[in-house]
């Protein structure tokens, strides 16, 4: 048998990249609001006006550990026992400057109608200065989880049978203060201003959402899987999973010290899948799969859609999937074409924290093509593309619209070239061209995000069997593609760019 153990200790944080005002000069894919003059701010929260200073330069990150392992035992008579286990514990905090509405001229919001003063520098800014409401968001999150997956498999003459038990326990403690808007100068490190009522009187500055919550839960599932060779060229498989999901969760909204929402949840759901693979020639075949499953609700789902929970709804998202595909292999190429249809009932979207959730049914159908070409000279080309149509089939306000941020097409072309040198070393040169079509930025389909292209290149050089050197350039042409609009206010001219051009050099040693 085999035993594998691992642990990963992480303390890593970075800027939380968020939509910025696209209609302001100087705001490009390198722009971030965070900087010296705004990274530190004192935030008031709770009914008694308590306050605390936070460093928003900490951004998003993870400080914690992920440890676990697996035991794989090969037994007599075709039996195999596998146990996989994992323990996660740490803090996943977020500190960020979040736009609230579009950029405006300072003269439209200044108390005197013409100017305001920098809260840090004391500089005077005239009325033409572009300013924007920026929310100082704080999310403190402590999480802990343990998972164990035990499975036993029997290999048969014409197939295999697996039975298993999955067990997971988890806990989360959250403390949030969201909103906390203040007008800032739109520039790198742009400071907050005085002389604006919104900034000097927090009660007049829009929405705010503060919570203190604790939740724990468990997921336990029994599952079976069967694969059977009906003939030499025909295989069928089936799977069945019964899952019990329990949640205990309480929320103090407003940091008043009183519980505003309490959840005690215990539901069971069954999922199944059935598939077949028929090779009607040695390297040509068709395959099909149908699956029906679910996604159980977690802590955020109950808080966002608490009214439905109180009315007796189970908040389980029902997921149905269908696939039908064709595969063709030859000496120098492979082709896979897969048609798909999926439906998710009970999906939710919350534009502004604390507001009721929009409950949706989303559908998507299309085709995915994966093509590989292998040349004798070391050149390999992979083409992966997806053509799809999405639709919101159930919604209070957006029925019939496309799902947000889902393009009708996207393509990835990845050539690689292997080189061997006279001294025995070898290298691989590679690149990827990605192209994404137009998408809607919101479920209302009022904002279109234009398509974009991105090129990545790199080289991997094997100095020895143990030492490798890799150099990669991401976004070679410095494309300014937009991946997201403003989820809270689609009409605002805000958007989030893909990351700008960057280079990375790494050296690895394997022993």
Q: What is the pLDDT of residue 90?
A: 98
Which residue shows structure tokens 């937009």? 482
Which residue shows structure tokens 């579009």? 102
> Does 102 score more than 70 pLDDT?
yes
Chain segment 345-394, per-residue pLDDT in tens: 999 999 888 888 899 999 999 999 999 999 999 999 999 999 999 999 99
In degrees and rounded to multiples of 5, residue 226 shows phi and psi of: -135, 130
- Residue 175, beta-bridge partner list: 140, 212
Instruction: Write out the DSSP string of 83-136.
Output: EEEEEEEEE--EEEEEE-S--EEGGGT-TTSSEEEETTT--EEETT-EEEEEEE
Chain segment 124-178, per-residue pLDDT in tens: 999 999 999 999 999 999 999 999 999 999 999 999 999 999 999 999 999 999 9
C-alpha closest to that of 192 among 114, 139, 135, 107 = 135
- Distance spanning both ends of the chain, measured CA to CA: 22
Contacts by residues 429-435 (CB-CB < 8 Å, ≥ 24 positions apart):
429/457, 429/458, 429/459, 430/457, 430/458, 430/459, 430/460, 431/455, 431/456, 431/457, 431/458, 432/456, 432/457, 434/410, 435/410, 435/411
Q: Locate all alpha helices (DSSP H) within 214-305, ordered by sequence.
A: 299-304
Q: Is the distance from CB of 161 to CB of 226 less than 8 angstroms? A: yes
In degrees and rounded to multiples of 5, residue 217 shows phi and psi of: -160, 175
CA distance 121 to 118: 5
Both tokens of residue 340? 């798909």
25 three-class SS = coil
322 three-class SS = strand
CA distance 193 to 200: 9
Chain segment 104-114, per-residue pLDDT in tens: 999 999 999 99
Q: What is the pLDDT of residue 4?
A: 97
Chain segment 8-30, per-residue pLDDT in tens: 999 999 999 999 999 999 999 99
Q: Locate all alpha helices (DSSP H) within 192-232, ordered by sequence.
A: 197-200
- SS3 of 341-367: the string is EEEEEEEEECCCCCCCCEEEEEEEEEE
- Residue 426, beta-bridge partner list: 420, 462
Burial of 181 (0-12, 13-18, 19+ CB in 10 A): buried
Q: What is the pLDDT of residue 417?
A: 97
Distance of CA 90 to the CA centre of its chain: 19
Both tokens of residue 107? 């003269």
Element (H, E) at 242: strand 234-253
- Residue 126, beta-bridge partner list: 115
C-alpha closest to that of 147 among 62, 92, 219 = 219
> Does 92 score more than 70 pLDDT?
yes
**Average per-residue pLDDT in the chain?**
96
Percentage of the chain surpassing pLDDT 70? 99
Both tokens of residue 196? 């604006």
CA distance 17 to 352: 18
Residue 78 DSSP class: G
> Does 7 score more than 70 pLDDT?
yes
pTM of the model: 0.91
Chain segment 53-88, per-residue pLDDT in tens: 999 999 999 999 999 999 999 999 999 999 999 999
Q: What is the pLDDT of residue 424?
A: 85
Q: How large is the average pLDDT for residues 36-43?
A: 95
Q: What is the pLDDT of residue 400?
A: 97
Which residues 6+ apart lie within 8 Å of 290 measured at CB? 273, 274, 275, 321, 322, 323
CA distance 44 to 46: 7
Q: What is the pLDDT of residue 204?
A: 66
Which residues 6+ apart lie within 8 Å of 471 measured at CB? 458, 459, 503, 504, 505
Both tokens of residue 459? 């080289």
> Does 510 score more than 90 pLDDT?
no
Residue 402 DSSP class: P
Percentage of the chain surpassing pLDDT 90? 94
């Amino acid at each position: 048998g085999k035993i594998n153990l691992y642990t990963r200790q992480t303390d890593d944080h970075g800027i939380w990249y968020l939509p910025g005002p696209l209609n302001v000069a100087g705001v490009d894919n390198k722009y971030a609001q965070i900087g010296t003059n705004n990274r530190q701010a004192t935030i008031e929260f709770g009914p008694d006006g308590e306050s605390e200073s936070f460093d928003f330069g900490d951004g998003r990150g993870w400080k914690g550990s992920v440890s676990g392992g697996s035991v794989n035992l090969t037994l007599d008579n075709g039996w195999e026992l596998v146990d996989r286990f994992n323990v996660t514990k740490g803090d996943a905090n977020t500190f960020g400057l979040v736009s609230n509405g579009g950029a405006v001229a300072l003269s439209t919001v200044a108390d005197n109608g013409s100017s305001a003063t920098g809260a840090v520098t004391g500089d005077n800014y005239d009325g033409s200065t572009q300013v924007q409401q920026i929310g100082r968001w704080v999310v403190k999150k402590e999480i802990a989880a343990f998972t164990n997956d035990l499975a036993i498999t029997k290999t048969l003459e014409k197939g295999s049978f697996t039975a298993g038990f999955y067990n997971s326990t988890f806990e989360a403690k959250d403390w949030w203060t969201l909103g906390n808007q203040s007008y800032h100068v739109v520039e790198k490190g742009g400071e907050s201003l005085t002389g604006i009522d919104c900034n000097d009187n927090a009660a007049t500055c829009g929405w705010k959402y503060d919570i203190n919550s604790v939740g724990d839960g468990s997921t336990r599932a029994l599952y079976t899987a069967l694969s059977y060779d009906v003939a030499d060229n025909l295989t069928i498989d089936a799977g069945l999973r019964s899952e019990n999901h329990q949640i205990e969760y309480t929320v103090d909204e407003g940091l008043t010290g009183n519980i505003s929402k309490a959840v005690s949840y215990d539901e069971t759901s069954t999922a199944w899948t059935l598939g077949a693979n028929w090779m009607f020639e040695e390297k040509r075949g068709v395959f099909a799969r149908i699956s029906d499953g679910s996604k159980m609700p977690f802590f955020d789902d109950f808080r966002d859609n608490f009214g439905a929970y109180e009315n007796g709804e189970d908040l389980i998202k029902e997921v149905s999937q269908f696939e039908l595909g064709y595969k063709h292999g030859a000496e120098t190429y492979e082709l896979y074409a897969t048609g798909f249809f999926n439906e998710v009932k009970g999906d939710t979207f919350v534009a502004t924290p604390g507001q009721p959730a929009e409950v949706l049914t989303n559908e998507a159908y299309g085709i995915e093509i994966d093509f590989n070409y292998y040349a004798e000279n070391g050149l390999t080309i992979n083409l992966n593309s997806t053509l799809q149509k999405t639709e919101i089939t159930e919604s209070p306000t957006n029925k019939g619209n496309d799902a947000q941020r889902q393009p009708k097409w996207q393509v990835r072309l990845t050539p690689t070239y292997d080189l061997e040198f006279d001294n025995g070393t070898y290298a691989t040169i590679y690149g990827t061209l990605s192209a994404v079509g137009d998408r809607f930025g919101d479920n209302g389909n009022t904002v279109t995000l234009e398509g974009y292209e991105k090129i990545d290149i790199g080289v991997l050089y094997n100095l020895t069997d143990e030492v490798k050197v890799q150099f990669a350039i991401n976004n070679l042409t410095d494309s300014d593609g937009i991946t997201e609009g403003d989820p809270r206010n689609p009409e605002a001219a805000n958007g989030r760019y893909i990351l700008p051009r960057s280079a990375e050099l790494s050296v690895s040693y394997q022993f």
